[in-house]
Structure 1
């Protein structure tokens, strides 16, 4: 399909993380370096804290005519950034989340992959004699894998993950600079993290809970997207099984971020307009009452789970 089309537009999910941008940008760079005659674009809203990885193109609506659209790292259509994704001729979905919504003309989903960036690397490995891996595409794919594996600490890191990562670092790019840009935090975000550590609630069930109201975000000058940087702030607390962040939107609804060390949480997220992985998911809560419902369901999961 890629060989057939001369115009390719690559999307990913809203509120992008390193894997969303790494897979989107890594694939785009691979295609640009391999097929210089093709028009290849990346689109979606900008994430200011991650522009060091990738900046979006300006794509006019008429460009979609006769194009191939590829959507990376996005489980459901509601979360696709830039809703014009359905204006092209064909859609390819490439994702590592559970395939609860198999949209598109070609669906490639691999839930065993650590990240969509790992999948794009696998795609390259299949055609490495024909495609060109450069410093920039290797850097982007490496960043995506590092982001979704928590620097290779999470259990989604497999032998295949490390094998493909080894192939990427054969290309000479500055990993030290990349790590620095990915993980350094401005002073206001560090102080914000301190407030989170001070105020989170720990339940006897092993559930950690943190509410991030608009007043705190404004006081610390932290955006909704930037607040995701502290999602693992209290993950090392003894006895914690799962944790949830309720980040208040300006309209009083909440962006919900869920993480786990064992209890399956994506089924809870799916009940509240969300989804994701068994141990890392996102959802939405319309009001405080719905956050209480989420807490109740998460507590049940935590109480039923015991560490081996």
Structure 2
């Protein structure tokens, strides 16, 4: 981080601090938020964590979860009050303020000092202090580095370490993907030395599925998976009625897109979900095909080169039709000769 001394001076005296992260927080988003919150509370700050939406039940084990304020009609006034009174606002795991929905303009208008910690492409220029790198596997990786740069690693305890580990583990696909660097392993080892129970964290995140979630995944793979071999593409669509039929909860479709990408020869995988008010899309790729560019150009989204999200205001059938029509112009890029490494598992 540039101006590290000024940043340290900012946090040397107690402040009112707000922390927020992106829509539908994943383990990296919530792990960095709660890890940072616990760290700052140890330093004597008054800290509030606000998420734009709810998040999966399999993240409820994180220390501090019960104090998270979910931005909804019930908590709207309190959330606005916290943002308006904050002296420092941390924005974690997102690069543009539109990723926090209605909270974005409140943060933009706030007179608070703003701090961005993130690893997504093309960050918006709104922060006073920035810790940003697309080379980082996860925002939790960057947060750990920042705490070490400040010389305050001693504040990291077992609970903080497990929050940070969760973000690194999930955003590297359990250390399978190319973003699993030597630095990732060094930090993981350091977090284990701080007491992180890596087996417990893995079990809580990956092995706590509901029966309804497993049935939804089975249905999606057996009935809704479409493979377009001429484009080396696979996609899954889920309607609002199907979500309701399987009593789907937040997080139940997380990672579903990776099943398509696991098919031999597939270089582009998509999940298209009707959320009633909007069609949400998750894009994954391998090799040189940039889903960030695809999502940004055609579906108002973005993220990472090989993992991105998007949206559509069309109906589900019309969105599917448009997506299939777009593939024709990308046929040469979606060629069968791309070497297939593992890719990022982050949710966008």
Deviations 1:93-136 (A, max 9, x none): 11100124232222332000001111001112213456511111
- Write out aligned runs for 1:1-308 (5 A): 1=7, 3-4=9-10, 6-33=15-42, 35=43, 37-44=44-51, 45-49=53-57, 50-53=59-62, 54-58=65-69, 61-63=80-82, 64-80=84-100, 83=103, 84-86=106-108, 87-129=110-152, 131-184=154-207, 185-198=209-222, 199-204=224-229, 205-223=231-249, 225-251=251-277, 253-262=278-287, 263-271=289-297, 272-287=299-314, 288-298=317-327, 300-301=329-330, 303-304=332-333, 305=335, 306-308=337-339
Deviates more, 1:50-59 or 1:9-18: 50-59
Deviations 1:6-39 (A, max 9, x none): 1111110010100101111111122222x0x211
> 1:231: how far off?
2.5
The answer to whether the 8 A contact 1:97-1:111 is kept is: yes
> 1:88: how far off?
4.5
Give the direction of change, closer, same or farther, for the CA distance of 1:200–1:30 in structure 2 (3 Å limit). Answer: same
Give the direction of change, closer, same or farther, for the CA distance of 1:103–1:170 in structure 2 (3 Å limit). Answer: same
> 1:279: how far off?
0.5
Give the direction of change, closer, same or farther, for the CA distance of 1:194–1:107 in structure 2 (3 Å limit). Answer: same
The answer to whether the 8 A contact 2:284-2:306 is kept is: yes
Give the direction of change, closer, same or farther, for the CA distance of 1:209–1:299 in structure 2 (3 Å limit). Answer: farther
> 1:291: how far off?
3.8
CA distance in 1, matches of 2:328, 2:211: 34
The answer to whether the 8 A contact 2:56-2:250 is kept is: no
Q: Secondary structure at the match of 1:154?
A: coil
Aligned length: 305
Deviations 1:203-259 (A, max 9, x none): 1121001111111111111135422242322332111111000000213x3100011
Q: Secondary structure at the match of 1:152?
A: coil
TM-score by length of 1: 0.91
CA distance in 2, matches of 1:29, 1:302: 48
Give the direction of change, closer, same or farther, for the CA distance of 1:81–1:133 in structure 2 (3 Å limit). Answer: farther
CA distance in 2, matches of 1:62, 1:41: 11
Give the direction of change, closer, same or farther, for the CA distance of 1:89–1:168 in structure 2 (3 Å limit). Answer: same
> 1:299: how far off?
5.6
Deviates more, 1:291-300 or 1:44-53: 291-300
The answer to whether the 8 A contact 1:285-1:291 is kept is: no
CA distance in 2, matches of 1:40, 1:298: 46
Q: Secondary structure at the match of 1:192?
A: helix
Q: Secondary structure at the match of 1:43?
A: strand
Q: Secondary structure at the match of 2:254?
A: helix
